[in-house]
Structure 1
Amino acid sequence: MTTDTDTAEAPTTDRGSSQPSDFAVLSRRISAAGLLGRRPGYYILRFGLVGLAYLGGLAGFLALGDSWWQLLLAAGFAVLFGQVALLAHDLAHRQVFRGRKATEPVGMLVGNLGIGLSYGWWMDKHTRHHANPNHEELDPDVSPEILVWSTEQAHGARGITRWIGRWEAFLFFPLLTLEGLNLHVSSLRALANPKLKRRWLEGLLLTAHLAGYVAALFLVLSPGKAVLFLVIHQALWGVYMGAIFAPNHKGMPTLTGNKRPDFLRRQVLTSRNVRGGFCTDIALGGLNYQIEHHLFPSMPTPNLRKAQPIVRDYCAELGVSYTETSLFESYRQALSHMHAVGAPLRAEARANKA
């Protein structure tokens, strides 16, 4: 199980030529602008603010006691868990520290202990996504496990996936309420994989998080309130995580087989940026600059906005389509694509009833 999120192919020359690749030319422009350097001050501030919010939330939880106001705090913790997950994401891409010695232990503290998400499992999954975004056979984020992402996947769907595929555009956000649970279950299942590095440490930290989480709920709250807190928190966290990641690639072109464009086009043509200001940057953790992030995964989050005009102008020079929409338009495009993908399944269901 690989755990290096910067292993996506980024050739420096065109295949079979001594000429620099399109990506290499862009990379030189980005480097000349000084956008690949670390931003320690930014991350000290960001980690500090999120850490204070986390500790403040825990203090507020204990201070409120067995109160119905805790359900509002559950919603707040859903957003907070999403922000912690975004920090784990930046750590995994080595945006914070240069080497593994600092990155991995901090990543496990933030991911495993902080929110109950296996850092090693997620790194492996995300690495494969970055190497081949929206590739139906190689990107785990578009594998047809529950949802289908192309008409070919729809035709091959079986069982519950085939039924959900008919109406997945309508079911997408309701299904996201289960994503928090899915992340915990997938993290625990990954511990059985002997290829997972430091799996005993990961298991210890995951167990500490889950045990502490459940114990806190049922020691402070009545059983009914504890269950409601857990459901609201995990459901809204799942929706928030899905809302962060859905605009990035859903509804963009998918790839199959060995015929793939070069690195730059593979990353740009399958990704979508989201327009917005400071609030969008905070809510989406900088992933609204998805194209720039996929081209330069280790670029610190605050530099992505500065890199955008360079990347956008260079794509215009090359005649490469650069997609950028509003947040709600990105959801509309993603859901419209999902509804179109399910059309053959709906037509088949109608024919069977006739």
Structure 2
Amino acid sequence: MTGYTPYNKVNKEQLQRDIDNIKITLGAPSQEDFKHLLKMERWGRIFTFTGYFLILLLSYLELHYTVGTFIFWTIALSAASCMGIGNVSRWANITHPILHGAYDKIPNIPARYTSKYYATGKRRYIDWLDWLKVDAWSFEHNIMHHYHLGEDDDPDNVEYNLKWLTTSKIPMWLRYVIIYGFTMVWKPVYYAPNTLRILDNKTRKRSKLPEIKKHVWSPFSVNGLRLWKEYLLPYIGIKFILIPLLFLPLGWGAVLNALLITFMAELMANSHSFTVIVPNHSAGDIYRFDTPHKTQGEFYLRQIMGSVNYRTGTNPLDFVHGWLNYQIEHHLFPTLPLSQYQKMQPIVKEICAKHNLEYRQESVFKRVRMTVELMVGKTKLLKVEGV
């Protein structure tokens, strides 16, 4: 922590008081915060439906005209991009804050926007159809990640999770190929089975059963069968079979267009979500910790030292980042509405300056490069001695 106050010399009690005062300054969440959420939801829906409209347009043009390769791929890639952005928005801009309970205390909002009812039961197919399920992701993310940040128990500790790669004899060029390929499929390949594994281990721990060390893909195991039955197949069936078949009135060519574009949108959404999520806590200038935090002030300190922001400041910029560009503020107060992060960001930055703490904020593209360097083993997380 060169040039900044060492971990053990930070006045954690004063830091806690300063950060707790932010909530007093901001006031309680209000209808204005909820209206802001609805605006973000509309923006995401617009992108999604624009993508499907472009599929219809492309299929109509193919039925009545000769469509050249350039026009085909221009429309197809535009449709896939729009659908990909809509996909990421639904997860990052809507599902993420709602499942943290950010809008639970706002009076008179529809129950579907509260953490208790959002995407539960049949509403999963309306609110948030994805590779993940809300119960598994909420426990993995809201509990294990947020309250074990940078520890070995943090399920999103990239350095720990990729020991198999960084300690292997795999040549460096192939490591890069593996990581870049992983970015396009990380949600179904890693995130869905891992969130289920962590949720199952919660139940197994209560029953005093041995934990599942690695996520299981085999449908011939109890955990693997549940993964396929409840997580993967519903998403595949609806997203890649049912919805493309809705285009059948325009012919099988339209169905194939929808399938191809949906597949491209999925790859784009995976890459986009990886880009804005993973670098938040993974680079050679981010800290890891060997022991749990002991006080609230220490908890706040770790969120600052273990997180990084991207560029911030306007709704369009924040929208494309999924509001994950306010990662420091979000980790300090994960239950706040999105719009309040814009207000508190300069306050948090001032508090960090007051305590001589590093406040990391850089371009998301620079942070992605730094994250990849960590993932292939060229760098390591920083470590606070004895902590």
Amino acid at match of 2:188: L
- Give the drift of 1:154: 6.3
Give 2:278's aligned residue. Answer: 246
Change (3 A) 1:165 1:125: farther
Q: Counterpart of 1:255 in structure 2: which amino acid?
A: R
Q: Are 1:232 and 2:267 matched, yes or no?
A: no
Pairing 1:93-104 to 2, within 5 Å after superposition: 93-98=100-105, 102-104=114-116
CA distance in 2, matches of 1:285, 1:246: 12
SS in 2 for 1:289: helix
CA distance in 2, matches of 1:172, 1:204: 27
CA contact (8 A) 1:113 1:209 kept: no
- AA at the equivalent of 1:210: I
Q: How does 1:203-222 map to 2 (within 5 A)?
A: 209-213=235-239, 214-218=241-245, 220=247, 221-222=252-253
Q: After superposition, where does 1:1-354 map in structure 2 within 5 Å?
A: 21-38=13-30, 39-62=33-56, 64-65=58-59, 68=72, 69-86=75-92, 87-98=94-105, 102-108=114-120, 109=123, 113-127=128-142, 128-135=144-151, 137-142=152-157, 147-148=162-163, 157=167, 163=170, 168-169=175-176, 171-182=178-189, 185-186=192-193, 193=200, 209-213=235-239, 214-218=241-245, 220=247, 221-222=252-253, 225=257, 228-251=260-283, 252-258=285-291, 262-278=298-314, 279-338=316-375, 341=378
Deviation at 1:185, TM superposition (A): 4.8
In structure 2, how many angstroms separate the alpha carbons of the residues matched to 1:260 and 1:334?
A: 25
What SS does the corresponding residue of 1:274 show, helix, strand or coil?
coil
Does the CA contact (< 8 Å) of 2:48 and 2:86 recur in 1?
yes
Range 318-327 or range 103-112, more displaced: 103-112
Aligned-partner residue type, residue 330 of structure 2: H
Question: Are 2:19 and 2:351, in contact at CA under 8 Å, matched by a contact in 1?
Answer: no
Contact 2:308–2:361 (CA<8 Å) still a contact in 1? yes
Write the distance in 2 (CA, Å) between the matches of 1:191 and 1:339. Answer: 25
Residues matched between the structures, number: 313
Counterpart residue identity of residue 310, structure 1? I
Any idea what the Cα deviations from partners look like across 1:238-290, whole Å, max 9, x if unmatched? 10001111331110434243275811111100111112442431111221111
CA distance in 2: counterparts of 1:184 and 1:224, whole angstroms: 28
- Does the 8 Å CA contact 1:134/1:254 hold for their aligned counterparts? yes
Counterpart for residue 5 of structure 1: none
Amino acid at match of 1:132: H
- The two structures have a TM-score, normalised by structure 2, of 0.67
* 1:47-86: CA deviation from partner (whole Å, max 9, x where unpaired): 2333344345445544543754445312321111000011
Distance 1:294 1:192 in 2: 21
Secondary structure of the 1:324 match is coil
What amino acid is aligned across from residue 272 of structure 2 in structure 1? Y
Change in 2 beyond 3 A, CA 1:113/1:304: closer
Cα drift, residue 118 of structure 1:
1.2
Q: For residue 188 of structure 1, report the CA deviation from its aligned partner.
A: 9.6
Query: Which residue type is aligned with residue 76 of structure 1?
Result: C
Give the 3 Å change call, closer, same or farther, for CA 273–42 of structure 1 in structure 2.
same
CA 1:311 to 1:212, structure 2 compared with 1: closer, same or farther past 3 Å?
same
Counterpart of 2:270, as a letter, is G
When the two structures are superposed, what TM-score results if normalisation uses the length of structure 1?
A: 0.73
Stretches of structure 2 that go unaligned for 5 or more consecutive residues are 1-10, 63-71, 204-225, 381-387
- d(CA) in 2 for partners of 1:188, 1:306: 32
Q: Which moved more, 1:26-35 or 1:166-175?
A: 166-175
SS where residue 115 of structure 2 aligns? helix
Q: Is the 8 A contact 2:145 2:155 kept in 1?
A: yes
Identity percentage over the alignment?
19
Residue 48 of structure 1 aligns to which amino acid in structure 2? R
| Partner Cα separation in structure 1 for residue 334 and residue 346 of structure 2 | 17
Partner of 1:15: none
1:306-328 deviation per Cα after TM superposition (whole angstroms, max 9, x unaligned): 21121111122222222122233
Residue of structure 2 equivalent to 1:13: none
Provide closer, same or farther for how the CA distance between residues 95 and 192 of structure 1 changes in structure 2, counting only shifts above 3 A: closer
CA–CA separation in structure 2 for the residues paired with 1:139 and 1:337? 16
SS in 1 for 2:301: helix
